[in-house]
Amino acid sequence: MEIKKADVVRSLAGRDAGEIFFVSSTDGQYAAIVNGRDRRLEKPKTKKLKHLQFVERSADRTDQKLRDGEKVTNSELRRALAEKTGAKEKGGMTNGEG
C-alpha cells in the first residue's frame, strides 16, 4: 500500500525501529515522520519509504488536520498515537504544551 501524508507507520530500520509515527509529508522516495516526542513537527525525521511499514489510515481529527494542512500540536500527535497503540502518554505536558 502506498504511504501518504497523515498515515500511521512503523519504522523498520534504525534506532527508532518498531516505533510508531505519523507521516507529515512524502516526496515519492522519502517520508518526513513525526511522533510529537522525539521527532517533533518542527524537526521531522526523513526516512526512506522502504524502511517504513504502513499501519493504518484513519479519519480521526488529528489525521484529518494533518491531511488538510491545519495547525497540529505535538501534544495532539502524542495523544493520537497513544490512542492508536493503546498505550498511555508518558510524562504529560512538556514545554508548556497543553
Decide if 95 is inside a domain: no
pTM for the structure as a whole: 0.80
Task: Name the least confident of 6-15, 25-34, 60-69.
Answer: 60-69
**What is residue 88's predicted lDDT score, i.e. its pLDDT?**
44
Mean pLDDT of all residues in the chain?
A: 86
Residue 84, exposed/middle/buried by CB under 10 A (0-12, 13-18, 19+)?
middle
Decide if 23 is inside a domain: yes
Decide if 3 is inside a domain: no
Q: Which of 9, 18, 10 is nearest to 63 (CA)?
A: 9
Decide if 75 is inside a domain: yes
- For position 53, which CATH number holds? 2.30.30
Domain count, the chain: 1
Decide if 98 is inside a domain: no
Decide if 92 is inside a domain: no
Q: Which of 27, 66, 81 is nearest to 49 (CA)?
A: 27
- Count CA atoms closer than 13 A to 20's CA, side-chain side: 17
Give percent of the chain above pLDDT 70.
88
Range of the domain at 46: 8-85
Decide if 58 is inside a domain: yes
Strand residues in the chain grouped as ranges (E): 8-11, 20-26, 30-34, 45-48, 52-56
Q: What is the pLDDT of residues 5-18, one digit of tens each?
A: 999 999 999 999 99
Confidence of residue 23 (pLDDT cuts 50, 70, 90): very high
User: Contact at 8 Å (CB) between 65 and 41?
Assistant: no
87: pLDDT strictly greater than 80: no
